Amino acid sequence: MKYIALSVAVVSASLLNIANSAEWRVGLSRVVITPESPTWLSGYGSRDHAAEGKVHDLFAKAVAFEDKSGERLVLVTCDLGSVYQGLTDQVASVTQERWGLGKERLVINVSHTHCAPEIAIERIVFHSLSDAEEAKLQTYIDQQLIPKLIELVGEAIDDLQPSTISVSQSAALFASNRRLPVEEENGKRYINSQHPAGVTDHDVPVMVIRGEDESLRGILFGYACHNTTLAFYQYCGDYAGFAHQYLEESHPGATALFVMGCGGDQNPYPRHGPEGLDHCNRHGRELADAVVHAIESPQTEVHGPLRVAYTDVTLDLESPPSREQLEAQRTGDDTYPDRKARYLQSQLEKHGQIATTQNCPLQAARFGDELLMLFVSGETVVDYARKPKVEFAGPLVWVAGYCNDVFAYLPSYRVLLEGGYEGRTGIVHQLVPTPFATNVEDRVMGGIREVVREVSE
């Protein structure tokens, strides 16, 4: 009797395994993207020279998902400060041609580390690079980064093998809101400083990919916080780079991929200063511990089918300045307002007008009933994670920001009205001509609803 019961259990377990292994094929790949020679570094406009070395290598990693019917999605995560539409389009046009992976099946997410080569095109107008430094960066982008990203996608596809996917979630607390309200004579103002009582998203969503033999192949984890613990001249993935390192050391053979969340208005604290690297290590350890906690907690197995959707939303901008206003802004002192006015004048000369809209790519991927991933462009503020998590609750809702085109801060209606750096003033060193119009959140949420509907039908 005992023997029969055991046989039944063995048979059903192996049937289950066959069913599971047929449900997903997943591929993983990685490549070092640290430049071969020192380049200008991303982020801070105050930089005045190129990199001086590295703490650790910068990586791009990819995970390719394929469901039973052959539907695919490839997510590329990069230790980079930014990514722009032209680069994403260049990669997607080749992946479309080679593997049928167009932009609706490809996501490029960047960690927004400020210790990576500066690939944002804003640098050309707003940073103080010499022609020689600019040439080095362009060569890096054209001859190293783009070819490597294309090969990385191919390697993830070549690596597709039967796997199981499961998800769970924990939390880490080192991110804090960085929009501090201060009362002044003429009203409230938001300054860029830690605001512990402000809105945050401390969730750490985690996806675990296991092979047929149950071995841990991949760990995908997210967090909504600027990778700006460090402000020095060495290549480093910041806290996300350390979290990768800790997770891969403690799980040999697994590839760890950090997915940047909607951390546009979130900073890691403490940060900067002579102990910056110690702070960074600690944040990385806290995030890695949160990931391990999620892996060791009960997880939900993710089933197919995989459904993907993509849309380009047009965001309205405030009216552009007139020729006279631009002339008045040309103070000649080479400050950001002066450079911005000069740039907009050049746009007027070239195109006869200044753009009044900005394109905002949005994507969704639904994994059966268990997981809904949203991929939002821009330096996405935290409201764009919190709202969809409430509105589409049911599956685990995982919202990534900083995807495909980091064109400027993407404020919510609240942040736009409050003003401050992410709402209005940050636009002074972006190529986007003017702050967003007040319908920005309606447009973004409208686009998100559209892609969610498409993957949920």
The Cα–Cα gap between 81 and 19 comes to 41
Question: At its nearest, how many Å lie between Zn ion and the CB of residue 78?
Answer: 15
Q: HSE-up of 356 (CA within 13 Å, CB side)? A: 7
Burial class (CB in 10 A: 0-12, 13-18, 19+), 160: middle
Most distant pair of Cα atoms in the chain: their distance: 93
Please work out the total of residues on this chain that contact Zn ion, with binding judged by CB under 5 A: 1
The smaller minimum CB distance to Zn ion, of residues 118 and 379, is found at 379
- Buried b vs exposed e over 46-73: b needs ≥16 C-beta within 10 Å? ebeebbeeebbebbbbbbbbbbeeeebb
The smaller minimum CB distance to Zn ion, of residues 169 and 176, is found at 176
Residue 120 is classified by DSSP as: -
Please give the backbone phi and psi of residue 250, each rounded to the nearest 5 degrees, phi first: -85, -10
Burial class (CB in 10 A: 0-12, 13-18, 19+), 137: buried
The smaller minimum CB distance to Zn ion, of residues 203 and 379, is found at 379
The H-assigned helical ranges of 145-297 are 146-158, 238-250, 276-296
Please give the backbone phi and psi of residue 418, each rounded to the nearest 5 degrees, phi first: -65, -30
Single-letter amino acid, residue 424: R
Question: At its nearest, how many Å lie between Zn ion and the CB of residue 150?
Answer: 27
Question: At its nearest, how many Å lie between Zn ion and the CB of residue 385?
Answer: 16
Question: At its nearest, how many Å lie between Zn ion and the CB of residue 378?
Answer: 10
The smaller minimum CB distance to Zn ion, of residues 263 and 321, is found at 263
CB 316 within 8 A of CB 196: no
Question: At its nearest, how many Å lie between Zn ion and the CB of residue 228?
Answer: 7
Among positions 349-388, residues that touch Zn ion (CB under 5 A) are 379
Question: At its nearest, how many Å lie between Zn ion and the CB of residue 51?
Answer: 19
The Cα–Cα gap between 262 and 221 comes to 13
Rg over CA atoms, the chain: 22
The Cα–Cα gap between 247 and 239 comes to 12
The smaller minimum CB distance to Zn ion, of residues 95 and 412, is found at 412
Question: At its nearest, how many Å lie between Zn ion and the CB of residue 182?
Answer: 21
Question: At its nearest, how many Å lie between Zn ion and the CB of residue 144?
Answer: 24
Question: At its nearest, how many Å lie between Zn ion and the CB of residue 81?
Answer: 8
CB 305 within 8 A of CB 23: no
Ranked by CB distance to Zn ion, the top (closest) residue is 379
The smaller minimum CB distance to Zn ion, of residues 42 and 169, is found at 42
Single-letter amino acid, residue 104: E
Among positions 409-438, residues that touch Zn ion (CB under 5 A) are none
The smaller minimum CB distance to Zn ion, of residues 238 and 379, is found at 379
The smaller minimum CB distance to Zn ion, of residues 78 and 291, is found at 78
The smaller minimum CB distance to Zn ion, of residues 25 and 340, is found at 340
Which residues would be at the binding site for Zn ion (CB under 5 A)? 379
